[in-house]
Structure 1
């Protein structure tokens, strides 16, 4: 190797050594400024899949149909007249009373007049006889009932609020724990002196 080549190599080592932090420090301790990377960590974190909400629900009434005895017409009291009770009887009526009449007869001695009895003329006539007179009678009519179906509300209509909680899931995510930067690290000794 020539002297010139050797000198060039020595100069290159000196220039490179001067640029190196290890060669720049001539004291007892030397430190290099190094770049620190960002520190990440994988964590489970909650994620809202669906937000919670509130719903107003109208509840219809519950109605059942029940049979019920209902008065259709109220009872009442009235008065009626009963007809009289009669009976037919037969009665003899004298149309012509009994008496006498003169009857003429002819005999050996001439005309003879005699008084002859005449019986009464009687006729049988029917006649209505009152047995019991008509009267006023009290008539009581009871109330009239019927069975009808009636709707009965067992539970009235209402309104209530239903709260639905949010749906939350766990998601794995890579999060930054510490931002990187620069730090001073003690330089290692090398064969060049440090």
Structure 2
């Protein structure tokens, strides 16, 4: 603050704080009514916050690649088929009784008690065991069925197709704080109390 004491503490203040006239010698010895000094009122500042654009809003394209997976699938390696083979005949040896001579009645001489007599004799049938080869199953062409043969394979299958999507990216702002002058510095006249001034 700058202070100046007017000589003799006599002066006059015009409207607006401007010094109009000072005491003249003609008024010397008069009674001082008031004294003033010049003062500087500093400028006034205010802190303000402001939103500042850091990055503007934009749109970008996001691509999602296709997603694949592997699945196991059962496949026929060799289908069912029929083949033929030659089968030899099957034989079996069987036994049976064969009559060699039938029962009969005949006459023959016999010695009975030292005497030769003619007797009527009954002869039973005579049998003999005969072994023969019998066909049990004839040979020929026989069909043979071969079942199908299966296996497994890995297949690549699409789970999700590729996509393209637009994504909106919002603008980015930052709060900036700064000092703003509200009022300039001013020079004014202020009343003072010094000896000789009331």
Which has a greater percent of strand? 2
TM-score by length of 1: 0.41
TM-score (norm 2): 0.41
The structure carrying a bigger helix percent of its residues is 1
